[in-house]
Amino acid sequence: MIPVTDMAGQKVGILGLGRSGLSAARALQAGGAEPVLWDDNPDARARAEAEGFVVEQLGSARAMQEIALLVVSPGIPHLYPEPNPVIAAAWEAGVPVDNDIGLFFRALGHGEWAAFDSPPKVVAVTGSNGKSTTSALIHHILEEAGKPVELAGNIGRGVLDLDPPEDGAVIVLELSSYQSELARALTPDIAVFTNLTADHLDRHGGLGGYFAAKRRLFAEGGPDRAVIGVDEPEGRFLANQIATAPGDDRLIRISSGTKLSGPGWQVFAKKGFLTEWRKGKQIGSIDLREVAGLPGAHNHQNACAAYAATRALGLGPRQIEAAMKTFEGLPHRSQIVAREGGVTFVNDSKATNVDSALKALLAFDRIRWVCGGLMKEGGLSALEPGLAHVSKAYVIGREAAQFALGLTGTEVEICTDMARAVEKAAADAEPGETVLLAPAAASFDQYDNFEKRGEDFAAQVARVLGR
């Protein structure tokens, strides 16, 4: 645990008692504060009371008069589509609102940090797609290089549940827009922006608000070095705002599919090869086609981001290449779950929208595609560039028939459930083909979450293959 000591002796309200809320309460209490907790869910309140915390409704004027700070869990909206009533009460009372990410950065530098020969560094990763894989890959590369490193945030542990870092350690944080939009302190040493596609628009009041939440990671504290994906206009805008001159190497521009040039620092992937250029000279190159855990152009962008971040931390190109070759990928994200008879079975259950499913389709050549679920707005037309890679689609979900109607020009079999889809796809698959779960839809019509859907796919593959 990382204690939060700068609120010692003061009452702090905690709104929302999921992982981050309870973690913040424990860290504040360990630092001498008096946390007062609330959640609309009675089960969550009962869990907090069982730990000995004070639980009180926080929305009244009296409650607001007693607290010096309100800490809000990331799932609770503070502005759009409308402010939570407790947050609105805090505004009215002039009580500052923060979250666990803000508390984490406020806690940095206290305690033993002043005595370290090499103060710990923080790498923070944000973006629409790929931030989990990028964060995990950075962590893996550093771990393989023998560096003390921890992974937290929107992946793994809560930030305040981390062990106090040791001399020379690195903390890798994955930050969602929900986390970065409200944190009052954001001061990473290295900040990474992967890409931007439309998501969470109701929560942020549109695409501009969503980008603004991501941009705060670079604007609030000013990282020592920024790694920026420049394949979208927002990334190019952000890179331009950070650099003070064309050769400013505080900025590392990255791309998947575009050769970057200029006097600055660039890392790009093209035709399966990652290349680093700095001050007009090629520094390093990696054949990503040999990295089984990072298939497809979208993962090559993740590789560029992780390479750039770890280079900025002082690792050499060959160290990074060796570590990438041992990266197995994350569960449910282009995860190879089996190979049999020349057929590869890939679980990309995290591809819950059309954009991420398209990237998965473009990563493989001949696909038996397991897809479908709870459809999202916008239809399936954006999948068209990837459908040429699909030999046949096997559609699951309660809306399977409707989903199939959106796949014009593609051979389709309506299977409804995962067991039948995997059976049929495995039976039809020929050597050299990939049986791919990339649903392009939410999981909630049949599963609690995308993880459960991916686990079912893996289990059905194992059953069909007799493993």
pLDDT averaged per 10 residues, the chain (length 467): 92 94 95 96 94 93 94 92 95 96 87 77 93 95 96 88 90 94 94 89 90 93 93 96 92 95 95 94 92 87 97 96 91 90 94 89 94 86 94 95 92 96 97 96 88 96 93
Beta-carbon contacts of residue 254 (< 8 Å; ≥ 6 apart): 227, 228, 229, 230, 260, 266, 267, 268, 301, 304, 305, 308
pTM summary value: 0.87
- C-alpha torsion 298→351→438→354, nearest 10: -90
For residue 337, CA distances in Å to 132, 142, 340 come to: 19, 25, 10
Asked whether 356 and 129 are in contact (CB, 8 A), the reply is yes
Type and span of the H or E element at 215: helix 207-219
Q: Is the dihedral of CA 180, 181, 183, 185 positive or negative?
A: positive
Does 127 carry a binding-site annotation?
Answer: yes
State the pLDDT at residue 432.
96
Question: Could you give the CA distance from residue 268 to residue 308 in angstroms, rounded to a whole number?
Answer: 10
Type and span of the H or E element at 239: helix 233-242
Does 391 carry a binding-site annotation?
Answer: no
Type and span of the H or E element at 141: helix 131-144
Does 41 carry a binding-site annotation?
Answer: no
Asked whether 39 and 16 are in contact (CB, 8 A), the reply is yes
Please tell me the total number of residues recorded for the chain in this structure: 467
Which residue ranges does the chain devote to CATH 3.40.1190.10? 103-324
Which residue ranges does the chain devote to CATH 3.90.190.20? 335-461
Q: What is the CATH number of domain 11-98?
A: 3.40.50.720
Q: Does the domain formed by 335-461 have CATH 3.90.190.20?
A: yes
Does 129 carry a binding-site annotation?
Answer: yes
Which residue ranges does the chain devote to CATH 3.40.50.720? 11-98
Q: Which residues pair with 150 in a beta bridge?
A: 171
Asked whether 363 and 291 are in contact (CB, 8 A), the reply is no
Residue written as token pair 């590789």: 303
State the pLDDT at residue 111.
60
Question: Could you give the CA distance from residue 242 to residue 225 in angstroms, rounded to a whole number?
Answer: 9
- C-alpha torsion 430→432→438→440, nearest 10: -80
For residue 70, CA distances in Å to 15, 21, 110, 158, 463 come to: 7, 11, 22, 18, 50
Question: Could you give the CA distance from residue 109 to residue 130 in angstroms, rounded to a whole number?
Answer: 30
Options 3.60.130.10, 3.40.50.2000, 3.40.50.300, 3.40.1190.10; CATH for 103-324 is 3.40.1190.10
Does 180 carry a binding-site annotation?
Answer: no
State the pLDDT at residue 110.
67
Q: Look at strands 343-347 and 412-416 and give their pairing.
A: unpaired
Asked whether 25 and 54 are in contact (CB, 8 A), the reply is no
State the pLDDT at residue 116.
83
Beta-carbon contacts of residue 453 (< 8 Å; ≥ 6 apart): 349, 373, 418, 437, 439, 443, 446, 447
Q: Is the dihedral of CA 327, 333, 338, 342 positive or negative?
A: negative
